[in-house]
Amino acid sequence: MIHAQARLRVVSALSMLREADRVAFPRLQEILRMTAGNLSVHLRKLEDAGYVEVTKTHRGRTPATLVRLTRRGRLAFEDYTAALRALLDPQEES
Amino acid sequence: MTPLDDDVPLVDPAESLRLIERQRAEAERILTPDPRLFLWPWGVAWLVGFTIYFLRFGPDNRVFVDMPSWVPLLVLMGLIIAAGITTGVYGARTGRHVSGPSSEQGLMYGITWTVAFAGTSIVLGQVSELLPDDKLNLLWAGVMVALTGALHMVGGAMYRDRYLFALGAWVSLINIVGVIAGTGWHSLILAIGGGGGMLVAGALAWGRLRK
Protein backbone atom coordinates (compact mmCIF):
# COMPACT_ATOMS: atom_id res chain seq x y z
CA MET A 1 0.00 0.00 0.00
CA ILE A 2 2.64 2.54 0.94
CA HIS A 3 5.36 1.41 -1.42
CA ALA A 4 3.79 3.68 -4.03
CA GLN A 5 5.70 6.94 -3.96
CA ALA A 6 2.82 9.36 -3.47
CA ARG A 7 1.20 7.37 -0.68
CA LEU A 8 4.54 6.91 1.03
CA ARG A 9 4.88 10.69 1.02
CA VAL A 10 1.38 11.11 2.48
CA VAL A 11 2.07 8.65 5.28
CA SER A 12 5.54 10.12 5.95
CA ALA A 13 4.08 13.61 6.36
CA LEU A 14 1.28 12.34 8.61
CA SER A 15 3.80 10.43 10.73
CA MET A 16 5.12 13.80 11.95
CA LEU A 17 1.84 14.45 13.76
CA ARG A 18 1.57 13.34 17.33
CA GLU A 19 -0.77 10.42 17.86
CA ALA A 20 -4.44 11.49 17.85
CA ASP A 21 -3.60 14.88 16.26
CA ARG A 22 -5.39 15.71 13.00
CA VAL A 23 -4.17 18.01 10.26
CA ALA A 24 -6.41 20.18 8.12
CA PHE A 25 -6.67 19.01 4.49
CA PRO A 26 -5.36 22.27 2.91
CA ARG A 27 -2.34 22.20 5.19
CA LEU A 28 -1.57 18.60 4.22
CA GLN A 29 -1.92 19.63 0.59
CA GLU A 30 0.61 22.42 1.16
CA ILE A 31 3.09 20.01 2.76
CA LEU A 32 2.77 17.48 -0.08
CA ARG A 33 2.30 19.97 -2.94
CA MET A 34 -0.47 17.83 -4.43
CA THR A 35 -3.70 18.90 -6.04
CA ALA A 36 -6.85 18.45 -3.95
CA GLY A 37 -8.19 15.78 -6.31
CA ASN A 38 -4.94 13.84 -6.35
CA LEU A 39 -4.60 13.93 -2.57
CA SER A 40 -8.23 12.84 -2.13
CA VAL A 41 -7.65 9.78 -4.27
CA HIS A 42 -4.61 8.72 -2.26
CA LEU A 43 -6.36 9.40 1.03
CA ARG A 44 -9.32 7.27 0.00
CA LYS A 45 -7.02 4.35 -0.79
CA LEU A 46 -5.19 4.76 2.50
CA GLU A 47 -8.50 5.03 4.30
CA ASP A 48 -9.74 1.81 2.69
CA ALA A 49 -6.61 0.10 3.99
CA GLY A 50 -7.33 1.45 7.47
CA TYR A 51 -4.12 3.53 7.51
CA VAL A 52 -5.67 6.99 7.76
CA GLU A 53 -8.86 8.38 9.18
CA VAL A 54 -10.58 11.28 7.41
CA THR A 55 -13.08 13.31 9.42
CA LYS A 56 -15.42 15.92 8.07
CA THR A 57 -16.37 18.58 10.56
CA HIS A 58 -17.43 22.20 10.79
CA ARG A 59 -15.48 25.16 12.07
CA GLY A 60 -18.19 27.71 12.68
CA ARG A 61 -19.99 27.61 9.33
CA THR A 62 -17.13 26.47 7.14
CA PRO A 63 -16.72 22.74 6.55
CA ALA A 64 -13.28 21.34 7.38
CA THR A 65 -11.67 18.04 6.53
CA LEU A 66 -9.19 16.64 9.02
CA VAL A 67 -6.77 13.79 8.45
CA ARG A 68 -4.89 11.61 10.87
CA LEU A 69 -2.75 8.49 10.74
CA THR A 70 -4.34 5.51 12.48
CA ARG A 71 -2.41 3.26 14.83
CA ARG A 72 -2.43 0.65 12.09
CA GLY A 73 -1.05 3.19 9.60
CA ARG A 74 1.69 4.23 11.99
CA LEU A 75 2.71 0.61 12.59
CA ALA A 76 2.76 -0.06 8.85
CA PHE A 77 4.95 3.02 8.32
CA GLU A 78 7.33 1.98 11.09
CA ASP A 79 7.57 -1.58 9.78
CA TYR A 80 8.19 -0.27 6.29
CA THR A 81 11.02 2.08 7.32
CA ALA A 82 12.53 -0.66 9.50
CA ALA A 83 12.44 -3.03 6.50
CA LEU A 84 14.14 -0.42 4.30
CA ARG A 85 16.87 0.11 6.88
CA ALA A 86 17.36 -3.65 7.19
CA LEU A 87 17.79 -3.91 3.42
CA LEU A 88 20.47 -1.25 3.47
CA ASP A 89 22.28 -2.55 6.52
CA PRO A 90 21.48 -6.25 7.11
CA GLN A 91 23.96 -6.62 10.01
CA GLU A 92 22.20 -4.04 12.14
CA GLU A 93 19.00 -6.05 12.16
CA SER A 94 20.33 -9.07 14.09
CA MET B 1 -2.00 -4.05 -1.82
CA THR B 2 -1.08 -3.85 -5.51
CA PRO B 3 -0.89 -0.29 -6.76
CA LEU B 4 -3.67 0.07 -9.31
CA ASP B 5 -2.95 3.65 -10.23
CA ASP B 6 -0.20 5.15 -12.35
CA ASP B 7 1.87 5.76 -9.26
CA VAL B 8 5.48 4.65 -9.45
CA PRO B 9 6.56 2.07 -6.90
CA LEU B 10 10.01 2.73 -5.49
CA VAL B 11 12.66 0.11 -5.90
CA ASP B 12 15.75 1.60 -4.29
CA PRO B 13 15.51 1.48 -0.46
CA ALA B 14 18.03 4.30 0.00
CA GLU B 15 16.00 6.49 -2.33
CA SER B 16 12.82 5.61 -0.38
CA LEU B 17 14.41 6.54 2.94
CA ARG B 18 15.60 9.84 1.51
CA LEU B 19 12.09 10.55 0.25
CA ILE B 20 10.63 9.77 3.69
CA GLU B 21 13.13 12.04 5.43
CA ARG B 22 12.54 14.88 2.96
CA GLN B 23 8.80 14.64 3.40
CA ARG B 24 9.02 14.51 7.20
CA ALA B 25 11.31 17.54 7.24
CA GLU B 26 8.91 19.43 4.99
CA ALA B 27 5.98 18.52 7.27
CA GLU B 28 7.91 19.72 10.31
CA ARG B 29 8.84 22.97 8.59
CA ILE B 30 5.23 23.75 7.71
CA LEU B 31 3.60 22.49 10.91
CA THR B 32 6.03 24.02 13.43
CA PRO B 33 5.20 27.64 14.25
CA ASP B 34 7.91 30.16 13.43
CA PRO B 35 9.79 30.62 16.73
CA ARG B 36 10.79 34.15 15.71
CA LEU B 37 7.17 35.26 15.91
CA PHE B 38 6.92 33.88 19.44
CA LEU B 39 10.18 35.34 20.76
CA TRP B 40 11.11 38.46 18.82
CA PRO B 41 8.15 40.68 19.81
CA TRP B 42 9.01 39.99 23.47
CA GLY B 43 12.72 40.47 22.86
CA VAL B 44 12.09 43.89 21.32
CA ALA B 45 9.65 44.83 24.11
CA TRP B 46 12.20 44.00 26.81
CA LEU B 47 15.18 45.50 25.00
CA VAL B 48 13.48 48.84 24.30
CA GLY B 49 11.22 48.98 27.38
CA PHE B 50 13.85 48.16 29.99
CA THR B 51 16.45 50.38 28.31
CA ILE B 52 14.07 53.32 28.71
CA TYR B 53 13.55 52.28 32.34
CA PHE B 54 17.29 52.23 32.90
CA LEU B 55 17.72 55.68 31.32
CA ARG B 56 15.01 57.23 33.52
CA PHE B 57 15.53 55.22 36.73
CA GLY B 58 19.26 54.52 36.81
CA PRO B 59 21.30 53.07 39.70
CA ASP B 60 21.45 55.28 42.84
CA ASN B 61 18.53 57.40 41.61
CA ARG B 62 20.49 58.70 38.63
CA VAL B 63 18.53 60.07 35.69
CA PHE B 64 20.40 59.60 32.39
CA VAL B 65 17.60 60.96 30.23
CA ASP B 66 15.11 63.34 31.74
CA MET B 67 11.52 62.39 30.89
CA PRO B 68 8.25 62.27 32.82
CA SER B 69 8.33 59.36 35.29
CA TRP B 70 5.27 57.69 33.71
CA VAL B 71 6.85 57.36 30.26
CA PRO B 72 8.91 54.17 30.87
CA LEU B 73 5.95 52.25 32.30
CA LEU B 74 3.72 53.37 29.42
CA VAL B 75 6.28 52.33 26.80
CA LEU B 76 7.04 48.97 28.44
CA MET B 77 3.39 48.08 28.99
CA GLY B 78 2.48 49.18 25.46
CA LEU B 79 5.22 47.00 23.94
CA ILE B 80 4.31 44.03 26.16
CA ILE B 81 0.64 44.26 25.24
CA ALA B 82 1.57 44.49 21.55
CA ALA B 83 3.83 41.44 21.92
CA GLY B 84 1.08 39.54 23.74
CA ILE B 85 -1.43 40.27 21.00
CA THR B 86 1.04 39.34 18.23
CA THR B 87 1.99 35.99 19.74
CA GLY B 88 -1.60 35.27 20.86
CA VAL B 89 -3.07 35.85 17.39
CA TYR B 90 -0.24 33.98 15.67
CA GLY B 91 -0.52 31.07 18.13
CA ALA B 92 -4.27 30.82 17.62
CA ARG B 93 -3.84 30.90 13.83
CA THR B 94 -1.22 28.14 13.73
CA GLY B 95 -3.33 26.10 16.16
CA ARG B 96 -6.12 25.94 13.60
CA HIS B 97 -4.13 23.74 11.22
CA VAL B 98 -3.74 20.84 13.61
CA SER B 99 -6.47 19.81 16.00
CA GLY B 100 -6.32 17.32 18.80
CA PRO B 101 -4.15 16.98 21.91
CA SER B 102 -1.43 19.34 20.60
CA SER B 103 -3.69 22.30 19.96
CA GLU B 104 -5.46 21.74 23.28
CA GLN B 105 -2.09 21.75 25.00
CA GLY B 106 -1.09 24.97 23.23
CA LEU B 107 -4.36 26.65 24.16
CA MET B 108 -3.98 25.67 27.83
CA TYR B 109 -0.41 26.96 27.84
CA GLY B 110 -1.55 30.27 26.34
CA ILE B 111 -4.32 30.62 28.92
CA THR B 112 -1.83 29.84 31.69
CA TRP B 113 0.31 32.84 30.69
CA THR B 114 -2.68 35.16 30.67
CA VAL B 115 -4.05 33.93 34.01
CA ALA B 116 -0.63 34.00 35.70
CA PHE B 117 0.01 37.62 34.67
CA ALA B 118 -3.50 38.83 35.43
CA GLY B 119 -3.48 37.21 38.87
CA THR B 120 -0.03 38.51 39.78
CA SER B 121 -0.87 42.04 38.61
CA ILE B 122 -3.96 42.15 40.79
CA VAL B 123 -2.04 40.97 43.86
CA LEU B 124 0.82 43.43 43.31
CA GLY B 125 -1.64 46.24 42.62
CA GLN B 126 -3.06 45.78 46.10
CA VAL B 127 0.26 46.40 47.86
CA SER B 128 1.80 48.91 45.47
CA GLU B 129 0.91 52.03 47.42
CA LEU B 130 2.90 50.81 50.42
CA LEU B 131 6.24 51.03 48.62
CA PRO B 132 8.51 53.88 47.48
CA ASP B 133 8.82 54.27 43.68
CA ASP B 134 12.21 52.63 43.20
CA LYS B 135 11.25 49.56 45.26
CA LEU B 136 7.91 49.43 43.48
CA ASN B 137 9.51 49.23 40.03
CA LEU B 138 11.85 46.51 41.24
CA LEU B 139 8.98 44.54 42.77
CA TRP B 140 6.84 44.64 39.63
CA ALA B 141 9.64 43.98 37.19
CA GLY B 142 11.24 41.31 39.40
CA VAL B 143 8.01 39.36 39.94
CA MET B 144 6.88 39.58 36.30
CA VAL B 145 10.25 38.45 34.99
CA ALA B 146 10.41 35.60 37.53
CA LEU B 147 7.02 34.49 36.22
CA THR B 148 8.16 34.74 32.60
CA GLY B 149 11.27 32.68 33.30
CA ALA B 150 9.26 29.99 35.09
CA LEU B 151 6.62 29.81 32.33
CA HIS B 152 9.31 29.44 29.65
CA MET B 153 10.82 26.59 31.68
CA VAL B 154 7.39 24.96 31.92
CA GLY B 155 7.01 25.37 28.14
CA GLY B 156 10.40 23.71 27.67
CA ALA B 157 9.31 20.80 29.86
CA MET B 158 5.97 20.48 28.06
CA TYR B 159 7.31 20.62 24.49
CA ARG B 160 10.51 18.81 25.47
CA ASP B 161 12.41 21.79 24.12
CA ARG B 162 15.74 22.16 25.91
CA TYR B 163 16.42 25.52 24.31
CA LEU B 164 13.18 27.03 25.59
CA PHE B 165 13.91 25.54 29.01
CA ALA B 166 17.43 27.02 28.92
CA LEU B 167 16.00 30.43 27.93
CA GLY B 168 13.65 30.27 30.94
CA ALA B 169 16.47 29.27 33.27
CA TRP B 170 18.67 32.08 31.90
CA VAL B 171 15.93 34.69 32.36
CA SER B 172 15.28 33.42 35.92
CA LEU B 173 18.98 33.61 36.74
CA ILE B 174 19.63 37.12 35.44
CA ASN B 175 16.45 38.29 37.17
CA ILE B 176 17.83 37.17 40.53
CA VAL B 177 21.19 38.80 39.80
CA GLY B 178 19.43 42.02 38.73
CA VAL B 179 17.11 42.16 41.74
CA ILE B 180 20.07 41.75 44.10
CA ALA B 181 22.06 44.40 42.20
CA GLY B 182 19.11 46.76 42.67
CA THR B 183 16.99 49.27 40.76
CA GLY B 184 18.59 50.51 37.57
CA TRP B 185 20.96 47.59 37.20
CA HIS B 186 17.98 45.25 37.07
CA SER B 187 16.55 47.13 34.07
CA LEU B 188 19.89 47.16 32.26
CA ILE B 189 20.49 43.44 32.83
CA LEU B 190 16.98 42.58 31.61
CA ALA B 191 17.23 44.80 28.55
CA ILE B 192 20.48 43.25 27.35
CA GLY B 193 20.39 39.74 28.83
CA GLY B 194 16.64 39.17 28.68
CA GLY B 195 15.61 41.10 25.56
CA GLY B 196 18.83 40.28 23.74
CA GLY B 197 18.57 36.68 24.94
CA MET B 198 15.12 36.27 23.41
CA LEU B 199 16.24 37.76 20.09
CA VAL B 200 19.17 35.33 19.99
CA ALA B 201 17.01 32.38 21.11
CA GLY B 202 14.47 33.16 18.36
CA ALA B 203 17.20 33.31 15.72
CA LEU B 204 18.80 30.04 16.92
CA ALA B 205 15.47 28.20 17.02
CA TRP B 206 14.64 29.43 13.54
CA GLY B 207 18.04 28.36 12.25
CA ARG B 208 17.55 24.86 13.67
CA LEU B 209 14.17 24.58 11.97
CA ARG B 210 15.52 25.71 8.60
CA LYS B 211 18.29 23.11 8.52
pLDDT digits (tens, 9 = 90+) for B82-95: 999 999 899 888 77
B chain contacts of residue A87, beta-carbon cutoff 8 Å: 13
Q: Confirm if A69 and A77 have CB atoms less than 8 A apart.
A: yes
Query: Which CATH number does the domain housing residue A16 bear?
Result: 1.10.10.10
Find the mean pLDDT for residues A50-70. Answer: 91
Are B1 and A1 within 8 A, CB to CB? Answer: yes
Q: A4: how many CB neighbours lie within 10 A of its CB?
A: 21
Q: Domain total for chain A?
A: 1
A chain contacts of residue B101, beta-carbon cutoff 8 Å: 18, 20-21
Q: What is the pTM of this model?
A: 0.82
What amino acid is encoded at B103 in this protein?
S
Q: Confirm if B3 and B9 have CB atoms less than 8 A apart.
A: yes
Q: Which residues of A16-31 are buried (b: 16+ CB within 10 A; e: fewer)?
A: bbeeebbbbbebbbbb
Are B101 and A21 within 8 A, CB to CB? Answer: yes
Complex ipTM value: 0.89
**Res. B3 pLDDT band, cuts 50 70 90:** very low
> Which candidate in B1, B97, B160 is best for mutational testing of the A interface (most A CBs within 10 A)?
B97
Q: A51: how many CB neighbours lie within 10 A of its CB?
A: 24
Are B17 and A85 within 8 A, CB to CB? Answer: yes
Containing structural domain, residue A9: 5-93
Query: What distance in Å separates residue B209's CA from the closest CA in chain A?
Result: 14
The predicted-structure confidence for B140-153, as pLDDT tens digits, reads as follows: 999 999 999 999 99
> Which candidate in B30, B104, B105 is best for mutational testing of the A interface (most A CBs within 10 A)?
B30
- By C-alpha distance, which of B7, B106, B20 is closest to A78? B20
In sequence order, which residues have a C-beta less than 8 Å from that of residue A62 and are 6 or more positions away? none
Query: What distance in Å separates residue B33's CA from the closest CA in chain A?
Result: 13
Q: Confirm if B153 and B165 have CB atoms less than 8 A apart.
A: yes
Predicted confidence (pLDDT) at residue B5 exceeds the cutoff of 60: no
In sequence order, which residues have a C-beta less than 8 Å from that of residue B160 and are 6 or more positions away? none
